[in-house]
Amino acid sequence: MRGAALKAEGVSVVFGNGKDAAPAVAATDLSIAPGSFVAFSGPSGSGKTTLLHVVAGVLAPTTGTVRWGDTEITKLSEGRRDRWRRREVGLIFQEFHLIEQLTPLANVLLPATFSGFVIAPSVRARGKLLLEELGVPLERRAVTELSRGERQRVAIARALLFDPPILLADEPTASLDAAAGEQVAAELAKAAAAGRTTIVVSHDKLLVERAQRVVRLERGRIVSDGPPVGIAAAAAEMAV
């Protein structure tokens, strides 16, 4: 499969009103080729997550346009944008967003319930296969019986259920220990290697270094954009 191309032009996001309102994202242009694995990095409050929410169609920008392939999502109504996102995007969050009382498989299959109550056998089979491939024990009665690393792998399986061309993750390893974080980073890199356009927001050096490209933001603006080694060297120089 092939991922989708991203083109964002003149994107800004301003929260609040009045002349003192500061932009969370300011006049940002960004292009990402189909199938790329990109990391958004930068200090807390730099606008990384806000920009991710804009390209995901979760948040409408104050100004600017966002286009994925032939679809300009900033022209869509909120309802059409939601439907586009369910079809085209897999989302992964720091805190998993799982329903604790449900089994791992039931959590993975939740997106399939949005369009009806009957889940196709092929979808159920894919959910099981994803959990097996990610090393999550299927026999657990609830996700509360899983480790945090296993819960995040359930969230990854859920995001991949419909084989989306776009995969977006917000701090997916931030609440995990080093071993679990490395395993999740490896799974995200594997998902990206399958051809999905993958964007991760992260402070995790091990995850960021797996990306092909690192976009660093500070105070809502892109200050550097390049391969992980070059970005790491630039950040080190700025810290001196």
Count of residues making up the chain: 240
List the chain pLDDT tens, one digit each, 240 residues.
578 999 999 999 998 776 667 889 998 999 999 999 999 999 999 999 999 999 999 999 999 999 999 999 999 999 999 999 999 999 999 889 999 999 999 999 999 988 777 889 999 999 999 999 999 999 999 999 999 999 999 999 999 999 999 999 999 999 899 999 999 999 999 999 999 999 999 999 999 999 999 999 999 999 999 998 755 554 444 443
For the chain, domain boundaries: 6-239
Q: 39 pairs with which residues across the strands?
A: 200, 214
Residue 227 has, within 13 A of its CA and on its CB side, a CA count of 2
Separation of alpha carbons 201 and 185, rounded Å = 12
Note whether 52 and 94 are within 8 A (CB). Answer: no
Total-model pTM? 0.91
Separation of alpha carbons 161 and 139, rounded Å = 19
Q: How many Å separate Cα 84 from the centre of its chain?
A: 15
| CATH assignment of 6-239, among 3.30.390.30, 3.40.50.300, 3.40.50.720, 2.60.40.10 | 3.40.50.300
Among 132, 110, 128, 129, which residue's Cα sits nearest to residue 119?
110
Please report how the helices 178-193 and 148-160 are oriented relative to each other, as an axis angle in degrees rounded to 10: 10
Residue 128: CB atoms within 10 Å: 16
Please write the tens of the pLDDT for every residue from 72-113.
999 999 999 999 999 999 999 988 999 999 999 999 999 998
